[in-house]
Amino acid sequence: MVITAKQEALVVSSWNEMKDDAPTFALKFFLRLLEIIPSAAKRFSFLRDSSLPLDKNPKLKAHAMGVFVMTCEAATQLRKTGRVNVGANTSVQHLASVHFKAGVADVHFEVLKFALLETIKEAVPYMWSEELKEAWSESYDHLVVAIKNEM
Ligand code: HEM
């Protein structure tokens, strides 16, 4: 079992606390990544071509939200089937190809994980624990490994 029922429950219950403001939290952790590695912005076609401030860019928010939702959903998929399934509209191979072509590197995935965990800690401090951190980490790591294995 890669994710236990308890870990899935921790991810899902904290997600339920955050979901109403999830786009705001998602944008926050992505902006944190761009604060730590400003050059990562150049990887996004829609950031290269845009004069909008980063925090006002709807496509940046949509990507960040995708990361957040997929990480949460990965917990349930991993618990049920032992593997990550990114959904009907895309595939791990497609995501690997898009990220590979865009030049997304290990360090981007690593810093995004740090930013995601930091944001969750700030969003639900009353739920935060080593176990909650581990549960989100496992889910994110499996999702990223699935993508990177195809890159
Ligand atoms: C595109 C998910 C991490 C950069 C995408 C897309 C999805 C996605 C769903 C849209 C694919 C399409 O065009 O059909 C994820 C997930 C991640 C992740 C689940 C981690 C778990 C990252 C990181 C970066 C990044 C760390 C670093 C900068 C990009 C770029 C694109 C993209 C540059 C292409 C955007 C464009 O120019 O159109 N990602 N992403 N992603 N992602 Fe990620």
Report how far ligand 1's centroid is from the alpha carbon of 19 (Å).
20
Residue carrying the six token digits 């926050």:
28
**Rounded to whole angstroms, how far apart are CA atoms 104 and 109?**
8
| 3 state SS of 98 | helix
Which atom of ligand 1 is found nearest the CA of 40? 28
Among 116, 129, 102, 6, CA closest to 46: 102
- Closest protein CA for atom 32 of ligand 1: 99
pTM: 0.95
**pLDDT per residue rounded down to tens, the chain (151 residues):** 689 999 999 999 999 999 999 999 999 999 999 999 999 999 999 888 788 899 899 999 999 999 999 999 999 999 999 999 887 778 899 999 999 999 999 999 999 999 999 999 999 999 999 999 999 999 999 999 999 998 8
Q: Which atom of ligand 1 has the smallest separation from the CA of 102? A: 33
